[in-house]
Amino acid sequence: MSKNSPSFTCTTCGASHRKWIGKCEGCGGWNTLIEEAPLSAGPKALGSKGRAIHLTDLATVGEAPPRASSGIEELDRVLGGGLVPASAILVGGDPGIGKSTLLLQAAASFSRHGVKCLYISGEEATAQVQMRAQRLGLTESPVALGAETNLRDILTTLDTERPGLAIIDSIQTMWLDTVDSAPGSVSQVRAAAHELVTFAKRRGVAVILVGHVTKDGQIAGPRVVEHMVDTVLYFEGERGHQFRILRAVKNRFGPADEIGVFEMTGDGLQQVLNPSALFLSERGQPSPGSAVFAGIEGTRPVLTEIQALVAPSPLGTPRRTVVGLDSGRLSTILAVLEARCGIPFAGLDVFLNVAGGMRVTEPAADLAVAAALISAREDIAVPPETVLFGEISLSGALRPVSQTENRLKEAAKLGFSQAIAPKGSKLGQVEGMNVRQMPDLTAFVGEIFGA
Ligand code: TYD
Ligand code: MG
């Protein structure tokens, strides 16, 4: 492709194509390609002018990178134990989910803990940010504010102010005068993120970039900058719920899959230090279709309630509706139940839901899902005070999962006294917990539901 010929870039995944096509070959999205003007300035040469540095020459070899604490425990854990200096972090999420609120609170908290913070909003005037700060009770915090979208001005300010942390809200509003396209386009977002990340590494300023998840494809989404940053966090939540989950999907300096749980209140976000209690708080008496899963999110055990509803279907193809779990996993479990245990779901609508707006990705949830499904179908409640975990294989066997002892301890802490686990699990010593180990799904169904 000649240097100046236009190219077509996917606004969802950033893949570039030589000609316009309806379906992106990178991510499979429809109508996500837009024409991009070529960059008018090439990337600048970076680094130590071609000189290689030996790993052993580095002064900090053997030491963990020093981290700054925000004082917000849920945020520090997701970051892998605090903010790493000179790192670049992306915080993605749907518009209106609470990213600006979270980051303004984080900026205030970091600055109270000795990290100089600069919060730059490209969406709101400083007076509006101040109003939000007032509402959040943060006006006493020494955070520097800026309302600016021109990246050249922002970099100049960062260079003179030299904060420890700069927050850019949002990357889609920033623009560089060397790139000939509108703010929010893939090339602007990429170039702006590249400049900021490079600046962060060179000058030792940590940057947090806010990225709105976009649906319509007119504006580039946060995925186009995911590969440039050290840490990618997504802020998620269901519209109707006040819970918000900050999830690490990539972290060069800590574990991915770690979550932080927050609650949106009238006075901003409050951290939730014991999410299990919160997710189970709406649970009433044990009823058919409900099973409690003892899961692990990152390094922390979290108990969630899996709910199922099974009803005769008026449709030719029965409905399979899933919220908070993978729908492919539901199909597999339904197939195993039918083929290995003789429990058919043909002609029945199946609705599956994780209570509280949580999203469960662990295969260890299989057994709790199967329990909820059978319980709903047979109209028999799962025994009270019972938690379940275990992976189901296609043969119907139950496979042990990791961190069994942590799961059991968390369940015992929340008042559960019974657990059902795969045979061969490393149980450890958990007081007050009666664990029944099952080799396969057939044995489980026979023993718990008497079928
Ligand atoms: P915001 O942080 O502006 O979202 P984003 O930056 O992700 O677009 O959050 C906006 C929502 O949060 C808005 O619907 C109102 C709600 N909110 C509260 O419920 N309480 C609060 O104290 C604040 C500041 C916002
Ligand atoms: Mg915002």
Q: Which two tokens stand for residue 209?
A: 């970039």
Q: Which of these CATH numbers, 3.60.150.10, 3.40.1440.60, 3.30.230.10, 1.10.260.40, describes 278-449?
A: 3.30.230.10
Task: Give the pLDDT score at 37.
Answer: 63
How do beta strands 348-354 and 320-323 pair?
Answer: parallel
User: Domain spans of the chain?
Assistant: 1-38, 66-272, 278-449
Positive or negative CA dihedral for 207, 38, 24, 220? positive
Pairing of strands 231-236, 88-93: parallel
pLDDT at 42 over 70: no
97 annotated to a ligand binding site: yes
- pLDDT of 390 higher than 90: yes
Could you give the dihedral angle defined by the CA atoms of residues 426, 429, 430 and 431, in that order, rounded to the nearest 10 degrees? 150
Higher-scoring residue by pLDDT: 256, 127: 127
**Of 367, 368, 351, which Cα lies nearest the Cα of 309?**
351
Q: Counting ligands in written order, which one lies closest to the CA of residue 99?
A: 1
Residue 99, annotated as binding a ligand: yes
pLDDT at res. 243? 87
Q: How far is the CA of 169 from the centre of ligand 2 (A)?
A: 7
Nearest ligand for residue 104 CA: 1
ipTM of this model? 0.96
CB 305 within 8 A of CB 279: yes
CB-CB contact of 413 with 344 (8 Å): no
- The model's pLDDT over 248-302, given as tens digits with 9 standing for 90+, comes to 999 998 888 889 999 998 889 999 988 888 888 777 777 899 999 999 988 889 9
From CA 303, how far away is CA 293, in angstroms rounded? 6
d(CA 274, CA 407) in angstroms, rounded, equals: 14
Q: What's the pLDDT score for residue 62?
A: 54
So what's the pLDDT on residue 282?
A: 72
Write down the pLDDT at residue 112. Answer: 92
Mean pLDDT, the chain, integer: 88
Q: Does 67 contact ligand 1 (Cβ within 6 A)?
A: no
Percentage, residues of the chain above pLDDT 70: 92
Which DSSP string corresponds to 372-437?
HHHHHHHT-PPPTTEEE--EEPTTSBEE--S-HHHHHHHHHHTT--EEEEETT------TT-EEEE
pLDDT digit string, tens, across residues 142-193: 999 999 999 999 999 998 989 999 999 989 999 998 888 888 888 899 999 9
For residue 100 and ligand 1, the question of a CB distance below 6 A is answered with yes
Residue 271 · residue 245 · CB < 8 Å? no
Q: What is the pLDDT of residue 41?
A: 47
Task: Kindly compute the dihedral angle of the four CA atoms of residues 314, 317, 319, 320, in this order, to the nearest 10 degrees.
Answer: 150
Q: What is the pLDDT of residue 302?
A: 92
CA separation, residue 148 to residues 154, 169, 294, 333, 388 (Å):
7, 10, 46, 52, 51
pLDDT at 287: 87
* Cα 140 to ligand 1 centre (Å): 20
Which residues line ion ligand 2, judged by CB < 5 Å? 100
Helix (H, G, I), strand (E, B) or coil at 43: coil
> What is the C-alpha separation between 257 and 362, in angstroms, rounded?
10
- Predicted confidence at residue 60, as pLDDT, reads 56
Using the predicted structure, report yes or no on whether residue 45 has a pLDDT greater than 60. Answer: no
Residue 97 scores a pLDDT above 70: yes
Contact at 8 Å (CB) between 272 and 278? yes
CA–CA separation, 78 and 61 (whole Å): 24
CATH number for region 66-272: 3.40.50.300
